[in-house]
Chain A
Amino acid sequence: MLKLLKQYKKLLIILLFPYIYMLFVLVAPTQLAVIAPGGLSQVNEAVIIDGYDMVDNFNTIYVYSYSPITPFQSWVLATDKTMEIYEMTERQKDLSMQDEYAQGQISKMVSLKTSVIQAYLLAHDTKPEVTIDYHYEGLYVYYRPSYVEGLEIGDLIVTINGHNYSDYAHEDFVMLAYDSEVEFTIKRVSGDEITYHSVTYIYQEEDPYMIFYPAYMIDSASPSFELPGLDTIIGGPSGGLIQTLSIYVSLVNINLGDSKIAGTGTIEMNGEVGRIGGISQKMYTAIYNNVDIMFIPASHLSEIPDIDYPFIVKSVTTVEEAVQWLNEEFN
């Protein structure tokens, strides 16, 4: 082997430095993250309503998020206007891949449940036989500083400093969680066994704030439903608006023809449509997938790329606004 190395000694010495440099450029992590255009996923595959055919017009849009990227990727992507490169947030730096996956799954679960509740409540106005009962059950942990022991992403917080969720509305209960010193009681369900754990957290100045999602449990619904969308690996809350519309349209049976409708925006329990990440990348994804109508949160309207879209861009602040527009356009 040494004989072979000696034979090409000069060449190897010359190539060694660019080789190591290239290796570094291709492997070393930067402090940058990127959001890239993704694809569409049909909502009718995420929800099944007993006795109803889910319309196949609605699609949620997903984008890809990579962090951290390598220097090579940051150079290649710098010229691509369809990608968004940004400095990783403190929270992103703190999270493992498993944490990010858990975040995606927990936000998707909350989003799907909220969509079902909102859609059933809206449909109840025109079809009184559609009913739903639900109750508030605490807070899901979406982000916590990773050094906090015993507190995992997805944990359900039922008491904060001795105050139980049942005595509060979500908006008030979540405020208790932002005290500088808190003791959480965590409820964990494993099969039939329910256990409770206590976790104390003292806020440190350098800590990013925790993020929580409301936990709403659906007690009963007519018609009954299933959520197969919970079993997919695609996560995130940004499909909330479009899931709500899909369930609503299926329940009240609006004929949308063969319109391909996509959209993005979270859904809140008061019907508001919330902001999402990667709006530009979602607009490009909609273009690549030939959609006819695209719903976006109104607050993002000024941020989307200034190009001619080959589809109708409908910005909304509430799900009621979107429902009204669909009724006017298609009924």
Chain B
Amino acid sequence: MKSLTNSIDKVFRFFRRFANLVKLIDKKTTVKLVVKSVFGALLFSILIVLLPALILINMFIYTKLTFLISILLVLLIMGWSFLYYYFYYRLLKIYHPTLENINTKIPQLTESTIVAFFFMILGIVVLSVVF
């Protein structure tokens, strides 16, 4: 029971820290540069993911592998969210040198995981409808 309480406490502490860091980052950034970071991160992450995604889409011609390729595509999209947030915080730090001393790893990984989880659920729903 105690270990469970400890675990819940750890989770709450983690999310409190995450919320505080996000607030801090929001205070130090401007809307204009955030938008630039978003578009830059989208550009870099999509360019990186585009080729493997196109290879997988081309492989759909092997009808026996359709299910496997669909799963790989979902994994790739989940991976894309990690790439996107990596570039987003990298660009944000370049545009706002004051963020250099702030730990952006926690918001980066937390947000990536949440988005990847969302894509995973979406992928499972779509795959279960199609297959």
Partner of A23, one of B36, B50, B63: B50
Contact string against A for B residues 41-84, beta-carbon threshold 8 Å, 1 for contact and 0 otherwise: 00010010011001100110111100000000000000000000
Complex: A110 Cα to B54 Cα, angstroms: 38
* Chain B residues within 8 Å of chain A by Cβ, number: 17
A77 nearest CB across to chain B (Å): 7
Does A73 lie within 8 Å of B51, measured CB to CB?
no
The chain A residue with its CB closest to the CB of B43 is: A1
Give the docked Cα–Cα distance between A250 and B83 (Å): 59
Q: Does any Cβ of A come within 8 Å of B11's Cβ?
A: no
Binds B, one of A62-70, A89-97, A258-266: A62-70
How far apart are the CA atoms of A288 and B44 in the complex, in Å?
43
Looking at A34-42, A156-164, A227-235, the stretch in contact with chain B turns out to be A34-42
A203 CB within 8 Å of chain B: no
Would you list which residues of chain A between 10 and 40 have a CB under 8 Å from chain B? Answer: 19, 22-23, 26-27, 34, 36-39
A3 contacts B by Cβ under 8 Å: yes
| Interface: B123 (CB within 8 A) | no
B22 within 8 A of A: no
Pairs A–B under 8 Å by Cβ, sample size 13? A1-B36, A1-B40, A4-B91, A4-B94, A22-B51, A26-B54, A27-B54, A37-B64, A38-B63, A39-B63, A72-B58, A73-B61, A77-B61
Chain B interfacial positions (CB closer than 8 Å to A): 36, 40, 44, 47, 50-51, 54-55, 58-59, 61-64, 90-91, 94
Top 5 closest A-B pairs, CB basis? A26-B54, A1-B40, A72-B58, A3-B94, A73-B58
Using a CB–CB cutoff of 8 Å, the interface residues on chain A facing chain B are 1, 3-4, 19, 22-23, 26-27, 34, 36-39, 64, 66, 69-70, 72-73, 76-77, 83, 288
